[in-house]
């Protein structure tokens, strides 16, 4: 059954270190009627970052497996060099809203997610890709342990974001 809230919304999963959680998340999203999910390996340089930007997801999530549990918006800021003193910065408003929706679902798995701070993407790698600092859609960096139900918790957090819009 197609869900009008999220069925065709493009979700981009960036898999850090080819982890099982990101693969499970992709399957879980598909099982929850997300019909437009793409997954990439973590970018190591400009071509990888360009591929992520070119996908133009309305929700981008970097997923890393770790013993800790952390959800952070991705911060992109720096000087483009095109005009003297022109600093650019990604608007984190939507990312902050999306981040806050993780707390309940992760706590239900017995985790105490750290929601403080932000994950900084190296500006030198992305300064020539304006999407990284002009787009306002959620872009989150999530580190979670590989426990049963974590892909469902992430999926439910993403669904909650689209329902709340």
Nearest to 119 by CA among 16, 10, 9: 16
What are the pLDDT digits (tens) for 12-60?
Answer: 999 999 999 999 999 999 999 999 999 999 999 999 999 999 999 999 9
Q: Which two tokens stand for residue 132?
A: 């990284």
How confident is the model over 47-75, as a mean pLDDT? 97
**Chain-wide mean pLDDT for the chain?**
93
Topology classification of domain 11-164: Aminopeptidase (3.40.630)
The answer on pLDDT for 8 being more than 80 is: yes
**What's the pLDDT score for residue 2?**
43
Residue 6: predicted pLDDT: 67
Residue 3: predicted pLDDT: 55
How do residues 81-135 score in pLDDT, each as one tens digit?
777 778 999 999 999 999 999 999 999 999 999 999 999 999 999 999 999 999 9
What is residue 1's predicted lDDT score, i.e. its pLDDT?
Answer: 40
Q: Which residue in 51, 71, 55, 58 sits closest to 7, CA to CA?
A: 58
Query: How many whole angstroms separate alpha carbon 120 and alpha carbon 111?
Result: 24
Q: What does the domain layout of the chain look like in residue ranges?
A: 11-164
All residues at 6 or more sequence positions from 130 whose CB lies less than 8 Å from its CB, including other chains: none
The β-bridge relationship of strands 11-15 and 59-65 is parallel
Q: CB-based contacts of 83: which residues, under 8 Å, 6+ apart?
A: none
Range with the lowest mean pLDDT among 4-18, 36-50, 61-75? 4-18
pLDDT band at 157; cut points 50, 70, 90: very high
Do the Cβ atoms of 144 and 102 come closer than 8 Å? no
């Amino acid at each position: 059954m197609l869900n009008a809230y999220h069925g065709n919304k493009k979700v981009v999963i960036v898999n850090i270190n080819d982890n099982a959680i990101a693969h499970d998340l992709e399957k879980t999203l598909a099982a929850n009627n997300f019909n437009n999910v793409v997954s990439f390996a973590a970018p190591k340089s400009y071509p990888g970052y360009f591929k992520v930007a070119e996908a133009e997801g309305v929700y981008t999530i970097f997923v890393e497996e770790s013993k800790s549990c952390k959800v952070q918006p991705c911060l992109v800021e720096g000087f483009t060099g095109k005009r003297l003193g022109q600093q650019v910065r990604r608007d984190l408003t939507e990312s902050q809203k999306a981040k806050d929706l993780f707390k309940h679902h992760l706590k239900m798995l017995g985790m105490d997610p750290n929601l403080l701070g932000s994950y900084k993407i190296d500006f030198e790698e992305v300064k020539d890709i304006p999407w990284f600092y002009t787009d306002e859609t959620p872009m989150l960096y999530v580190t979670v342990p590989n426990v049963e139900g974590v892909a469902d918790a992430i999926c439910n957090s993403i669904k909650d974001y689209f329902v709340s819009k």
